[in-house]
Amino acid sequence: MSLELKIGVYFSANDVVYDWAIAFLNSFRKFNPDLLLILIPFNDNCDRIFQLKEKYNFELYVDDSFDRLESIGQAFELGHTPTGPYWFRRYAAFWGRLDRFMYLDVRQVILSDLTPLITALDEFNFDFLYYDCAINQVYEPGEFRQQLLRAGKGRGFNSGRWAARKGLFSIDEFEQLAADALKIRGQLNERNTDQAFINYCCDLKPLRSGHFAEVIGNICQNGWARQSGKIYQSEGKYYLWDYGGLDHKKQLVLIHWAGYKSTDFLPYQYLLLSFSKKHATSLSLFCYYIVIFSIKMPRILIKKLISQKNINFLYHSLKSKQ
């Protein structure tokens, strides 16, 4: 990669996810102390987040295209996620100051140096690299999805962690792609609007895309906290122990809690807490973990009860009648 190219990471956050952001930033700077980091504000509620700029050495990116991107998001919204349109601001990264970049949500912690994931774009001649695939979270079963699969596309990647080249898309191109995608809105996931949109764009445009793990090798295919296996450390790196699994003993570059709320009892919550409280001792983390567990226990039991088949059917039946 040319020394003149600027590489780095964009992330999105606001004050609502402040605690998540602290863990993300602590983990990011532990493994990426000098990598350029740029905040795309999720919305106007970012006063506390802005106060972290000097401590974690990140820049602020505000662009005139935000309103146009939010308009695209609003057009895709079906009333499930009121804040959904703001997620589309992240796509201003394609015309930001970084030539090669990675985009990351803050509901995750970073467990490795991310530079190799960004430089892989040029090293292996790709335009776009992604992580975590689940096609049902992007496309509904139907003819359009089948057409993509027959064409070798339609991977259904997660929109919270990916890498790309600057200029791969423009705002004008996004608006045209959005107009086309809205014609088949019923064949896109109802809730994950920004995720369905960027997948549609990447599937419709002829570009070179691939999965980080498949391209780079020896790293985990997924980073979701709920996946099977146990995380362990060796020589300062994190790995997944999942004997018999596809990712057994492979390096874990990040772990994310997509779909979880901060009030949930989270898988690997101890890992999140270890980065949330950077200078805490093992004993203090253990005590804090016990307190959190005790507070959340009633909620955990209720969710466990509701998840039982018969009770779940009754719960949703009564809810639909309200």
Average pLDDT over residues 96-112: 98
Which residue ranges form the domains of the chain, and what is each CATH number?
7-216 (3.90.550.10), 280-322 (no CATH)
Selection from 268, 235, 237, 267 nearest residue 252 by Cα: 237
Q: Collapsing DSSP states into helix, strand and coil, what is residue 104?
A: strand
Selection from 33, 92, 21 nearest residue 57 by Cα: 33
Give the confidence band of 25 by pLDDT, cuts at 50, 70, 90.
very high
In the predicted model, is pLDDT for residue 34 greater than 90? yes
In the predicted model, is pLDDT for residue 125 greater than 90? yes
Q: Which helix (H) or strand (E) holds 307?
A: helix 282-307
Q: What is the dihedral of CA 82, 84, 86, 91, to 10 degrees?
A: -170
pLDDT tens per residue across span 277-290: 765 555 555 555 56
Average pLDDT over residues 153-161: 96
Verdict on whether the full-model pTM lies above 0.85 = yes
